[in-house]
Amino acid sequence: MDKSVPVGEGLPWAFTEKPVTPWGGMRLVHEMLLRMRLREALGSCGLPAPDSNRGYDPVVMIESFLVCVWIGGNRFSHTANVRFDKALRQIFGWKNVAEVSTFTRFFRRFKREEIDEAFGYLGRWFWDQISSRTLTLDLDTSVITRFGEQEGTAIGYNRQRQGNPSHEPFFAFVADLRMVLHTWLRPGNAGSSKGVCHFFREALALLGDRHKVGLVRADAGFYDGEFLGLLESKDISYIVVGRKTGSLRAAFEGLKQWLAIDKEFAVSEFEYQSQTWQKKRRFVVVRQTLKSKKEGWLLVAPAYAYRVMVTNLSLPPVEVWRLYNARCDSENRIAELKNDFGINGFCLDSFYGTEAALRASTLAYNLMSLFRQAILQAPTAVRLPTMKFECFALGAWIGRKARKKVLRISLAQERRPWFEGLFAKANEFSPPWLPVTES
- Summarised one tens digit per residue, pLDDT across range 362-399 is 999 999 999 999 999 987 778 999 999 999 999 999 99
pLDDT tens, residue by residue, 50-89: 888 888 999 999 999 999 999 999 999 999 999 999 999 9
Q: Domains in the chain and their CATH numbers? A: 20-109+383-416 (no CATH), 112-339 (3.90.350.10)
The residues, ordered by sequence, that sit 6+ positions from 315 with a Cβ below 8 Å of its Cβ are 323
Q: Is pLDDT of 8 > 90? A: no
pLDDT tens, residue by residue, 234-254: 999 999 999 888 899 888 888
The residues, ordered by sequence, that sit 6+ positions from 411 with a Cβ below 8 Å of its Cβ are 394, 419
Query: Nearest CA to 96 among 66, 61, 53?
Result: 61
Q: What is the mean pLDDT of residues 205-223?
A: 94
Q: 151-155, 158-162, 345-349, 421-425: lowest mean pLDDT where?
A: 158-162
Residue type, 425: K
Query: For residue 294, what pLDDT is reported?
Result: 56
Query: For residue 289, what pLDDT is reported?
Result: 87
Query: For residue 439, what pLDDT is reported?
Result: 42
The residues with which 187 forms a beta bridge, in sequence order, are: 167
